[in-house]
Structure 1
Amino acid sequence: MAAFSVAALVVVSGCAHPISITPDAPPAAKVATKIDKSVAYVISPADMALEVTTPGGGGDKVKYLPYRDLDASLYASFSEVFKDVTKAASVEEAKALSAKGVKLVIVPTIVTTSSSDSAFTWPPTQFSVTLTCTAVNPQGQQVAQVSAMGNGAATFSEFKSDFSLAARRASRAAVEGLTKALADNEALRR
């Protein structure tokens, strides 16, 4: 009887399915004039390993590593906007790069949400990604904070071959929005 209770609990509580939120295609946003600055962006080893779990459908959940999944896309976004981009593992490491010409340190924060209107399938049908980048000078003073949000949706007929589709679409929209928001921010150009 105890084994049946444990099995029933596992079935009722659902599980977390792994997905990737890496964009489904390279971001298409292009910048007319790059900002003539060298920047370092910071994603710590702890953030790279951070696993997030959010709701899927049918009572199940999905899990993913947002900083790992979006690292290459963030690099591409920053490279589209700034003259030179370096990645650092800590703010201290990034600030030390000021001797090599780094003028801004950018710390991205990623917030995600997911949901599904399906009671029978686990992949999310709705996904959102909010990217917030805080830029500081080498002295640690905030220069700008820029945010962009992307939403993605996918129906069963679309996601049956790509369970991450809504997440990938949201990530692409967020990265494209971030590229535009960074390029349009006057404080970053000063």
Structure 2
Amino acid sequence: SLPRELNDPEQISEKSVVGTFLDKVGQYKPQLVGFNSASADLKAFVQRAVVLGIQAKGFCSRPNKPWEGDDYFDSRNSEASVDIKDVVGGWGKATPSLNEIATLSGIPGKMDVDGEKVAFLWLDGKLNEIVAYNEFDALTTYLVWLRVAHFGGHFTGEEYEVEQQLVRELILSEIENGKIHLKKYLEEWNCLKARI
């Protein structure tokens, strides 16, 4: 999670968080997976980077043709950025929220905070709550992506179960390392999974 150290004034600055994220994405070129990320999350990062005067050359590099490389600005033609919302719903009334598709699938959705409250948490200096929200959201998004990938035949049933178990082990490891808020996520996941 960014920032790694909530007590380090340099790491907790918005410029550092946004700049570090865009720099690492530009450097390592991972496939980004999100829910409503093409029209919300990535746009917010780009807008804040412009406002803050951040240069993100690696993130912003675009191929001459869509098939010639990663393009984080073109989620419809590039696999560099996958928006699960577009995969499961598109733009109509049948588009579920991340919370809806997650909880119906036995995966925790929104816990204590939703995206609309994050700015207020930032202004109140409640970075620990923002980090917890982002970690919950990242886990939920990843678990929904696993389910969509399983649906698409990228994982067998057994492989899908193994991947979920790896996520559980990661959560337990993070709890042991002091991220106590993840206990609540694991408890909710166990409860929802028992209902399906």
TM-score > 0.5, shorter chain as reference: no
Higher relative contact order (CA 8 A, sep 6+): 1
Q: What is the TM-score with the length of structure 2 in the denominator?
A: 0.24
User: Larger % of strand: which?
Assistant: 1
User: Larger % of helix: which?
Assistant: 2
| Larger Rg belongs to | 1
